[in-house]
Amino acid sequence: MADPMKIRASAKDGITEVKVLMSHEMETGQRKDSSGNLVPAHFITELSAEHNGKQVLAAQFGTAVSKNPYLAFKFKGGAKGDKLAVSWVDNKGDKRTDEVQIN
Amino acid sequence: MNMQRREALKAGGGLGLFGLLAAAGLITPGQARAEWNKSAFDAKSIEDTLKALGATGAQSSTDIQITAPDIAENGAVVPVGVVSALAGVEAIAILIEKNPNPLAASFMLPAGTEASVQTRVKMGQTSDVIAIVKAGGKFIMTKKEIKVTLGGCGG
């Protein structure tokens, strides 16, 4: 199980801004280790964000997304205290969901 | 011997779990389309990526802004943001022309989500970064060159 994400969601003037920092290696599968063997690819493929159970963003990542991916986006609606959940799945089937309250 | 179960397993084996769920109606077509687009992410050229995204013939437009540095000191972490003032933006994709696989990330925006995303990407070398936006069923694109100076020698 991967480390928790850091999620910050703040509502202002009817728009909620969400910032997510995931903890993931994002190995491209093109890098070689010290003995010259390819390091197998290991990266987040899909991500979904839900506001009170309704999807507000779906993303697909390739290997070019940086290690410990950062993502920021905005959506209309959302009030203080609402729930915002973000979940991801990687190419090895690992997954993680974290939830925060909008403030 | 439970023959029904055997038949179900046989059918399921061919379709895979995803097909099974789709067949059972647990996944709506809308969600099914959101499955990881392997052909797009594996594409090795801009043209192939556009084809896999169904965005062939995307027109250049000034209605999209890429917010990114002109020069990135560290190609492993290049902040890239895409903003569009257009109404009805459904999807945004970020491509890096000279990476081994150009497509870095794609975003599906349900109604109510602003056309504004930011993330960080890896760049192997100085390259054009291309943002593709789907709005009202049409694809448009814009590009911006980002210089990468790996090693900090100002190369």
pLDDT tens digits, one per residue of B62-81: 999 999 999 998 999 999 99
**Domain co-membership, B23 together with B87:** no
Nearest to B104 by CA among A14, A18, A59, A17: A59
What pLDDT shows up at residue B33?
44
Answer yes or no: is A64 within a domain: yes
What pLDDT shows up at residue A2?
77
CATH, residue A91: 2.60.40.10
What are residue B71's phi and psi, to 5 degrees? Answer: -130, 125
pLDDT tens digits, one per residue of B95-131: 999 999 999 999 999 999 999 999 999 999 999 999 9
Answer yes or no: is A93 within a domain: yes
**Domain co-membership, B77 together with B114:** yes
Answer yes or no: is A1 within a domain: no
- Quote the number of domains for chain B: 2
Say yes or no to pLDDT of B151 above 70: no
Q: Is A13 left (phi over 0), alpha (psi -120 to 50) or beta?
A: left
Domain hosting residue A72, numbered range: 6-30+37-101
Whether B114 and A75 lie within 8 Å, measured CB to CB: yes
Instruction: Report d(CA A76, CA A13) in Å as an integer.
Output: 9
**Domain co-membership, B19 together with B70:** no
In terms of DSSP H, where are the helices of chain B? Answer: 3-23, 29-32, 38-42, 46-53
- Quote the number of domains for chain A: 1
Task: Pick B116's closest partner by Cβ from A45, A64, A73.
Answer: A73
Rounded to the nearest angstrom, the minimum Cα separation between B111 and chain A is 8
**Domain co-membership, B121 together with B97:** yes
What pLDDT shows up at residue B4?
63
Most confident listed range (B21-25, B27-31, B84-88): B84-88
Domain hosting residue B3, numbered range: 1-35
Which H or E element spans position A71?
Answer: strand A70-76
Say yes or no to pLDDT of A12 above 90: yes
pLDDT tens digits, one per residue of A90-102: 999 999 999 999 9
Structural contact between residues A75 and A19, judged by C-beta atoms closer than 8 angstroms: no
Instruction: Report d(CA A59, CA A88) in Å as an integer.
Output: 9
Instruction: Report d(CA A55, CA A85) in Å as an integer.
Output: 9
**Domain co-membership, B42 together with B25:** no
**Domain co-membership, B21 together with B42:** no
Task: Pick B101's closest partner by Cβ from A26, A62, A77.
Answer: A62
Q: A56-60, B4-8, B27-31, B51-55: which range is least confident on average? A: B27-31
Q: What residues of B are in the A interface, CB distance below 8 Å?
A: 34, 36-37, 41, 76-79, 81, 96, 99-101, 103-110, 112-114, 116-123
What pLDDT shows up at residue B155?
41
**Domain co-membership, B30 together with B91:** no
**Domain co-membership, B75 together with B115:** yes
